[in-house]
Structure 1
Amino acid sequence: MNPKVTDYISSNIKWQKELEIIRNVLLELPLEEDIKWGIPAYIYKKKNIMGLSAFKNYCGLWFHHGCFLKDEINILINAQKDKTKGMRQMRFISVDEIDTDIVKQYVLEAMANSEAGLEVKPKKNTNPVVIPEELNIQFSKNEKLKYKFNEFTLSKQREFCEYILSAKREATKQSRIEKIIPMILNKIGLNDKYRNC
């Protein structure tokens, strides 16, 4: 039992019973328990299998490669159909909805699928990084900033640029520039806090 997961469950008072029931099923299996992206994560043979999480209106399991699960009783949800290819959710709104045998069956299938190498591999973005004019202006003023930016991977460079380009108002673009300059100088990616949990 990972104490960080215990803390996560204890802090989610509304869904505490439901999370504990699901967790007890997971702890019976040969899964490593950790915290990733701010939620409990369950790893099998060094591969992320699923996450356990609570939201305002429900709690549940997130199967990273759930699209490969048979789901014969049709309980899995693809919450972001246009964005998520592989992830599927099993949601609960009360203790009464949790059938521990079904949860265990789905988890065991997910583990078997992982061992079989079934996974959705993200497509690599090969498009060139489009640097916004506002950021180019900052680069011309600060050579160190440009140097540090170029040390990031292309995907992290793209995240910074898209963050600025997605702002509609000029004032928003400027506030975002002000936010990311210290991050770039300190070698902190825009979304690192989500990756390193």
Structure 2
Amino acid sequence: MATHDPRIDAYIAKSAEFARPILEHLRAIVHAACPEAEESLKWGFPHFGYKGAMMCSMASFKQHCSFGFWLQAQVVGGEAAEGMGSFGKIASLKDLPNKRELTAYIKKAMALNDAGIKSTRAKAAPKPPPELPADFAVLLKKHRSAKATYDGFSPSMQREYIEWIVEAKTEATRSKRMATAVEWLTEGKQRNWKYQK
């Protein structure tokens, strides 16, 4: 038996007039193909899960809708289309594959969930260590305890200081930030120490 989340009803009701029949059509096809589909609202738009894992989602925007599969590459193949989703920007029911094709995609997504296939993301390459600006390096040489603290920080903690300094728009601001950085580093503080608990 299909379970309907009232938040999805509300989402569809507040969507643009052109979007409502598209969203209702997609919802009906998902539930017809997968009666066990679990509805939820994640990241502000409707999602359908199956056996505790994400399966597909739909969304409406001002001038188009989208519908996509969590395991896009395995279900439909290739990269997601322009407009967030598997089928690009959907402005009418004509922009969607037919019911039989959509049902086949949903069944494929279900099979992947049954097999326990998870979404894999390519790991981002680690950022190189931050490059110490020459003027800040000279200042740190004069303050050994600040340099020791800086050298003991992880690259991401060092990067927070460096980015803060180099983003200064004026030389006066940059000088003031470098002086503050030395003060905080001497006290053993991270750049965003005020927000730490």
TM-score, structure 1 length as denominator?
0.56
| Residue 89 (1) aligns with residue 86 (2) | yes
Could you say if the C-alpha distance between residues 113 and 186 of structure 1 is closer, same or farther in structure 2, counting changes exceeding 3 Å? same
**1:128 positional shift:** 7.2
Could you say if the C-alpha distance between residues 169 and 117 of structure 1 is closer, same or farther in structure 2, counting changes exceeding 3 Å? same
> In the alignment, which residue of structure 2 is the partner of 1:111?
110
Could you say if the C-alpha distance between residues 18 and 70 of structure 1 is closer, same or farther in structure 2, counting changes exceeding 3 Å? closer
**1:23 positional shift:** 0.7
Instruction: Please give the secondary structure, in 1, of the residue aligned with 2:24.
Output: helix
Matches within 5 A, 1:1-197: 1-13=4-16, 14-28=18-32, 29=34, 30-69=36-75, 78-79=80-81, 89-91=86-88, 92-98=90-96, 99-124=98-123, 127=126, 170=168, 185=195
Could you say if the C-alpha distance between residues 130 and 111 of structure 1 is closer, same or farther in structure 2, counting changes exceeding 3 Å? farther
**1:94 positional shift:** 0.9
One-letter amino acid of the structure 2 residue matched with residue 53 of structure 1:
A
One-letter amino acid of the structure 2 residue matched with residue 9 of structure 1:
I
Ranges in structure 2 where 5+ consecutive residues have no aligned partner = 133-155, 174-191
Identity %: 22
Runs of 4+ residues deviating >6 angstroms? 128-131
One-letter amino acid of the structure 2 residue matched with residue 50 of structure 1:
C
One-letter amino acid of the structure 1 residue matched with residue 12 of structure 2:
I
**1:32 positional shift:** 0.2
**1:45 positional shift:** 0.6
Q: What's the RMSD between the two structures over aligned residues? A: 4.0
Could you say if the C-alpha distance between residues 27 and 70 of structure 1 is closer, same or farther in structure 2, counting changes exceeding 3 Å? closer
**1:101 positional shift:** 2.0
**1:129 positional shift:** 10
Q: Mark the structure with the bigger radius of gyration.
A: 2
